[in-house]
Structure 1
Amino acid sequence: MSTEHLFDKEAKDKLKELAEGIDIALMETNLIAKQTHMVPMSTKEVDEDGAIWFLSNKDSQHNQNLNIDNELQLIYAKPGDMEFMTIYGQASITSDKAVLKKYYGKMDDTWFEGIDDPNLTAIKVVPKQAYYWDTKFGKFTSFLKMGVGILTGEKQDLGEEGHLKL
């Protein structure tokens, strides 16, 4: 793996590519305690500023935790494609109708009683630190390259990793 730190627009583009491509993040809250709380969350969007948006229930444990301490960790993993990203950031919770309408979709009816559900909120995560691992080639090609490296003794380009400086 080569190290490639990305900055500004390139960093935001990589963040968007991985977060929206992987979709599901483990959202870890209650970071101030030894026993944190983790829940899988579906990414709605990475906006032009690099903020990541989710929908959530206002009575959920993670919303309660974020109301006490807004720092969180997001962990994205797509092992089949060998893509991974971890993000440390700060969250804010909103019940602004325009925001909720923007992100609400038909599949959200599984968790909510429609756009007017009084428990519907959106979580905006502003990343403060991010790190990614991306093979660029997927698992099969990466394993093939590893095999070639073992057989030939030559170092193979297996992808890149680095900080995303937003």
Structure 2
Amino acid sequence: MSKENLNQTKAIEKLKDLSESARICMFCTDLSKLPITARPMSLQETDKEGNLWFISGDQSNKNFEIKDDNKVQLFFMNKSNSEYKSVFGKAFIYKDKSTIEEKWSPLANAWFDGKEDPNVSIIRVTPDETYYWDTKAGKLVTMLSFVTAAISGKKTDNSDGIEGSLNVKNK
């Protein structure tokens, strides 16, 4: 497995690509208590600055936990492409109409009585530390490599894997 750390624009592009292709993550809060509290959340978007946006119920345990301690960890997995990502960062809750209007999705009507529902909130996660695991050639080529190694009895060098950190902040 090779290592490739990415910075700023390339890091944001990779973050956006991996998170939006997975779409669902395990959203973890209350990180100081074990076991950590995790629940599946659907990503609305990853913006051009690398922020990740979610729609959430303002009265949810997640929101209460964020209000107490805004450190969060997100785990994305796109099994079909063998892509994985871990994001540690800070979460911020928005209740203003303009942010709700901008980030609203009609799919959220399954949980809310429209965007005017007083329980609607928007969560923005700003990444502090992000790490990814990916394949250079895609899942099919990787699987063929493993199958060939298994049939031939030779070990795979796993050279088509790639991992690294994504630094989305300007330093």
Q: Same fold (TM over 0.5)?
A: yes
In structure 2, the residue matched to 1:4 is: 4
User: Do 1:81 and 1:137's aligned partners in 2 also have CA atoms closer than 8 Å?
Assistant: no
In structure 1, the residue matched to 2:137 is: 137
What per-residue deviation string (whole Å, max 9, x for no partner) do you get for residues 55-98 of structure 1? 00001111010000000000001122111000000010011111
* Pairwise CA distance, 1:148: 3.5
SS of residue in 2 equivalent to 1:43: strand
Q: Partner letter of residue 97 of structure 1?
A: K
In structure 1, the residue matched to 2:13 is: 13
In structure 2, the residue matched to 1:110 is: 110
User: Do 2:145 and 2:156's aligned partners in 1 also have CA atoms closer than 8 Å?
Assistant: no
SS of residue in 2 equivalent to 1:35: coil
| Cα separation, 2, equivalents of 1:27 and 1:50 | 17
Which runs of 5 or more residues in structure 2 are unaligned?
Answer: none
In structure 1, the residue matched to 2:68 is: 68
Q: Partner letter of residue 15 of structure 1?
A: L
In structure 2, the residue matched to 1:158 is: 160
* Pairwise CA distance, 1:158: 1.9
| Cα separation, 2, equivalents of 1:28 and 1:79 | 20
Q: Partner letter of residue 44 of structure 1?
A: Q
**Residue 13 (structure 2) pairs with residue 26 (structure 1):** no
Deviation larger for 119-128 or 26-35: 26-35
User: Do 1:27 and 1:75's aligned partners in 2 also have CA atoms closer than 8 Å?
Assistant: yes
What per-residue deviation string (whole Å, max 9, x for no partner) do you get for residues 16-36 of structure 1? 001111100110000011232
Instruction: State TM-score, norm by structure 2.
Output: 0.91
Identical counterparts, % of pairs: 34
User: Do 1:80 and 1:138's aligned partners in 2 also have CA atoms closer than 8 Å?
Assistant: no
| Cα separation, 2, equivalents of 1:80 and 1:45 | 20
Q: Partner letter of residue 163 of structure 2?
A: E
**Residue 50 (structure 2) pairs with residue 50 (structure 1):** yes
Which runs of 5 or more residues in structure 1 are unaligned?
Answer: none
Q: 1:92-103 alignment to 2 at 5 Å?
A: 92-103=92-103
* Pairwise CA distance, 1:109: 0.4
User: Do 2:77 and 2:85's aligned partners in 1 also have CA atoms closer than 8 Å?
Assistant: yes
Instruction: State TM-score, norm by structure 1.
Output: 0.94
| Cα separation, 2, equivalents of 1:156 and 1:32 | 35
User: Do 2:146 and 2:156's aligned partners in 1 also have CA atoms closer than 8 Å?
Assistant: no
Poorly superposed stretches of 4+, deviation over 6 Å: none
RMSD of the alignment, in Å?
Answer: 1.5
In structure 2, the residue matched to 1:122 is: 122
